[in-house]
Structures are given as C-alpha cells and as structure tokens.
Amino acid sequence: MLQGINLACVRGDRELFRDVNFSLEAGGLMQVRGPNGSGKTSLLRMLCGLSNPAAGEIRWDNASIRDLDGEYYAAMTYIGHLSGTKDDLTVLENLCISSALAGFEIGIDQAKEALSRIGLRGREALPVKVLSQGQRRRVALARLLVCKTPLWILDEPLVALDVSAVKLIQELLERHLQEGGMVVMTTHQEIDITAASTTQLHLA
C-alpha cells in the first residue's frame, strides 16, 4: 500500500502544493491531474524517492520510503519524461541493461518477446538514436513487461504514442491492476482504464 501524508512541495520560493493526502491499495489506479506547473512531475519524483517532500511523509506498506531505500526501489518502476535509454545502444541492449540495473536480469529471448509485444519486432538490433519519439517511448515502456514490480509510477506514459500503442498500454495497465498491481500516473489524454479503485488527485 502506498500512502502520502500531508505532502508539501516547494520549488524555489514558490509552494506548489501542500497537505496532499492519498492512499493507494493493491489493484488501485491513481491519476494525478492538474494544469502545467502544478507540481505533477514533482509529486511523482517524490513518490519514487528521487526528491524529498518539503513536509510530510511517503509510506510503503506502513514504513517510510526513506527507511526502506533499496527494498522500496525493488518494488517500484518509474518511467519519467526522459526515456532512460542510451542512443548508442541497440534496442535489445537497452532493455537488457536497464532491466538488469533495476534488479531483473533477463535473457535475450525474454527481452525479444517483450519487444515484439510492445511492437518493436524487427527493430531489436537498431541503435535507439535512429528510432522515432514514439518508438523510443515504447523501448522505455517495454521495461514494464519484464520488471515485475507491484508499483508503477508513470509520468505522461502516453506522450508521442500512436492510437494502437495507447490501446496496448491501456491493456497492459488493466492487466497489471487486475493482478493486484498499483499504478500512479499523469496524463493529459483521456484514457479509460477499468480498475478496482480509481483515485483522482487534483493539484491546483
């Protein structure tokens, strides 16, 4: 269970938000909404432990993520604005290395299968620098297929994706939620995901 208690965020002199509270159970989806500059990305970076909240606490299974450290990272996958792929490596190498660094060492076959499911069949040996924005996004999202973590934190996962890819991601998220996973995401696109519980978090 992921909980945020009285979270506040300050950037420079400006307070972006304060007293943000939520709790996300297994199978739950939380969509973070708000206009540009309302602190959506800041909140997500806090949730994955990259930055500290100015006030409040984030808890994972009733323990502060500060104290859990590596244990929490093993349960969480974050995909942010930056793709987290190396331009000079091939699609296959990127997937193998990034999942190994996330603690999931996978074989070539498993990686190839994941890549073909995400729609990159035949592109495995290409360096990422020749891919389009949407394809790069797919390489990043392929990690979700191989890293079996319960909590996914996704910052604008649908940006640059075409209709078929959006549908694919939608199915992927639904399957993950059905299996008892949790998803925290931001998106400006309207997306219809059925989940056991859906929370909307509005940042003013």
Partner 1 sequence: MFMWIIKRDLLLAVRRQSDVLTTLFFFIIVVSLFPLSVGPEMNMLRTMAPGVVWVAALLASMLSLGRMFSNDYLDGTLEQMLLSPQSLSLLVLGKAFAHWLVTGVPLVLMAPVLGIQYDLPVEALLVLTSALLLGTPVLSLIGAIGAALTLGLRGGGVLVSLLVLPLYIPVLIFGSGAVEANMSGVEFSAHLSLIGAFLLVTAVFAPWAAAWSLRVSLE
Partner 2 sequence: MAINWFKYSSPASFYSLAGKMIPLFVFAAAILLVAGLYVGFFVAPTDFQQGEAYRIIFIHVPAAWMSMFLYVVMAFWAGIGLAFNTRLSSMFASAIAPTGAMFTFIALWTGALWGKPMWGTWWVWDARLTSELILFFLYIGFMSLQAAIDDPRRSDKAGAIIALVGVVNVPIIYFSVQWWNTLHQGASVSVNQAPAMASTMLTGMLIMVFASWMYAIAVILKRVRVIILERESHTAWVAELHKKGAV
Contact residues for partner 2 (CB under 8 A)? 12-14
Here the tokens at position 152 are 């996914």
Q: Which listed option, partner 1, partner 2, none, makes contact with residue 13 (CB within 5 to 8 Å by class)?
A: partner 2
x/- map, 17-46, partner 1, by CB under 8 A:
------------------------------
130 binds partner 1 (CB under 8 A): no
Beta-ladder partners of 13:
none
Cα 39 to its chain centre, rounded Å, is 16
Q: Which residues contact 170 (CB under 8 A, 6 or more apart)?
A: 191, 192, 193
Q: Which is nearer to partner 1, 11 or 33 (CB)?
A: 11
Q: Give me the amino acid identity at 35.
A: P
State the burial class of residue 161 (Cβ atoms within 10 Å of its Cβ: 0-12, 13-18, 19+).
Answer: buried
134 binds partner 1 (CB under 8 A): no
> Minimum distance from CB of 24 to partner 1 (Å)?
18
56 binds partner 1 (CB under 8 A): no
Beta-ladder partners of 197:
28
Binding interface with partner 1 (CB under 8 A) = 48-52, 70-71, 73-74, 76, 78, 80-89, 93, 97-98, 100-103, 127
